Structure 1
Amino acid sequence: MTTSKIKTGTLYRDFSLQRDGVDQEARTVPVAFSSEEPYERYFGTEILDHGPKSVRLDRLASGCCAFLLDHRTSEQIGVIEKAWIDKDRVGRAIVRFSRSARAEEIFQDVVDGIRSCISVGYIVHKMVLEEAEFKKEVYRVTDWEPMEISLVAVPADPTVGVGRSAGAEDVETIIERPEATPPAVEVRSQPTTPTPERVIVMDDNAVAQGRQAEQKRTADLLAIADSYEKFGAREMVADFIRGGKTVEQFKDALMEKISSRHSSAAEAEIGLSAQERKQYSILRAVQAQLSGDWSKAGLERAASEAVAKRAGMTPEGFFVPVDSFTRSFAAGTAAEGGNLIQTSVLGNEFVDVLRNNMVLAAMGVRFLGGLTGNIAIPRKTSGSTVNMPGENGNASSGSVATNQIALNPKRVTGKVPYSKQALLQGSLDVDAMLRDDLTQTIAVKIQDQAINGTATGNEARGLLATAGIGSVIGGTNGAQIDWSHIVGLETACANANAEPDQRSGYIVNTKTRGWLKQKQKAANLPFIWENAAQPLNGYRAAVTNTMSSTGTKGTANGVCSSLAFGSDWSDLVIGLFGGLDIVVDPYTAAGTGEVILTANQYIDVAVRLAASFSAMTDGLTS
């Protein structure tokens, strides 16, 4: 008789707790944790036998077994008071919740019907092949041991009455019995065509190691899902647990979801109707803040409260909702917002107002809006290695390395003074002016941080201060920018395998543009800056004086210009935390009849791939 390898480990199944049996005074809840429902495993169909000799209940029925949260041994929220197998061949238990603060919170969720999924982790000690047909094998587990019961957030199969949680299959190494001492194997129903009998023999050390590894993987995945619940992580995590995916794979998928989510402005909106967007007035909110009377600014007050609730933050003054920036401006009239919009922008997102006046969004920089907490962007720093060692040579050894890019909120603030009389009289023109000034005050600084932030003090780390980007150096005392420098910037990215694509382009200042319009590529050749949609080296070129022209290199004091090339500008990420917070100060400039509006926005900047960018910081334009 031969045996076959079947890898099993700590397995999991999910069930629903019985809310109608909750005893709030005793803090106990009856749960069903197992049944004989068939379950498809990778090796075939599994049935847990619930006969009196098949289930080892000593651990659960001891009265001292921990009741856990999400299978984490560090999160004990109660105790399993007793466990038994009913006549209907269903495993049941009574769990009692602790009075700790965490357990109190979870118990209230159970009472309120928020949490209702129970999961049992169990180990298979023996299973027998009960039925075998073509491409279908049914195994009955005749000796199994429940190890723990947990309250879980995400069932793996929400489409059936009794759900199942992902298991730790493919974890243990199965020991094959030697042919000289074959084990006794029970085969309940012989197939028409005989097949080899099989037996599962578990190695205790392998079981423990596999269980610990799987519990850690599952706990890490669930912890990330909890942290990023607002981005739909809980809905995603079950598939990753069930599929045996790694934490890094989950982070990659989650980051893609977050990025795609925040590329859509609708995700950051609070749901103002078209009519409400037209009616919303920053000016009315300012007047209400000045007088303390919000009776005539109910819409503005409700909108601020909605933003605060969504962002989980309390404003110092009042929040301006993203939706309000999508009102129908008359594009041809500057006073009505003509300076705020252009045909290429999305009109329903706060960063779109930023796009109208700045160059980064037009270049494809990625904006993540509506963030509420610290963000970690996963990044692979090195891949696996391969070689060609010959027939008997050893394969090269190398592992994939990863790290994280952090986005932590940093405050950008600006003050804008207004005449109290203009604010109190009010008009559509003043309201449009308020929008323009406040957004520009913040937008200019955000772009400056994204490019020039030094990462010192309270500043973000901007593109030019990011280690690892390509570098083109003019000379000891700088150098006049020429064709070789322009091509060199592109080449620096391409040499690092960051080949330019449709999101490629240069950002320069006005002095550099003027210089390149007069500088020939070489004798008898055209000027470097061409009169075309892609004027610089065949790529797009944006112009902004945020790119410095006052740098110093050697004896070139205060005259050096910076210019940058990006092979993919979406690898520069700007995170926007919370909403635009406006504080009204009627006191500081009261003597001159002015009111000072202070606008606050929390942001951070990160470069996903440094190789996607290159820069020259010592270019001379004269």
Structure 2
Amino acid sequence: MNLNALREQRSTKVASMKALVDKAAAESRDLSADEIKQFDVLKVEERTVSAQVERAEYMGDIERRAAGEPVSGAPTSDMDKLAGAVMTIKVIKSQMEGTPLDGAEKEYAQEAERRSGRKAEGVFVPFKSLERRANTTVTAPELVGTDHRAQDYIGPLREALVARSLGVRVLSGLVGNVSIPKFGNGLETGWVTEGQAVPEGEMGFDNVTLTPRHVGGKTEMSRQLIQQSAPGIEQLVREDLSFLIARQIDRAIITGSGLAGEPRGILNTVGIQTADMPDTWLEVLAMLEKLDDVEIA
């Protein structure tokens, strides 16, 4: 039973006892035996209800202390005004963002701590604020704005390209087919005795021919998307295609198959030096030596 109902019940008992006494006084007599019996029953009931009222008031005081509100008998007008100015949403936002409170919210929290005599682990808010029924973002989505931060666009996490960093020669501005002469084989030398003819030889040459290969991709963009996108969709498409083409070139330089219009990569070229992954430092040194030396037949 709530506190108001208990107080009304106690008032009813008191009124009934008063009615018995007033009736006897109006008739200039003392209470009869039946009236004394009724009065005693009412008195016991009134005391029982009064005890219940006292317990309910005590529990109410404890709950108000926990909520940072003043206890019974304390001046409440200023605190009530301050509680009415507290915006629970500001308190919640402050806790989520880790920012300090200010204004009425800060003042209420400090006053609640002073009155309750304990330090809050979080922040004190008026108990009645938690009893209110509020709309949510589900019931009022039209009131929730969206901060579109185009300047903070998060791009893709891309792998690193390695071919150019390894010293690949880049020829730009080419139009026709390309032929580049290269060394084929050199002269011969050897040790001879006196009067013996030295070895005779001729230098040989070869060439490397280059023909165009093509790589690319495409996408479609609507006129409205081009007009409304932020960041600009055209720039995003350019950046993505540029990287994807660069990645295709990087891969082809290293592992290109040489089939279906794809260049032949280093690892698929006949005659290149190969070695197993070394397990010891001596094997590492042997690999380095293999890079520097040419085998002598």
| TM-score, normalised via structure 2 length | 0.42
Q: Which has the higher helix share?
A: 2
| TM-score, normalised via structure 1 length | 0.21
CA radius of gyration, larger in = 2
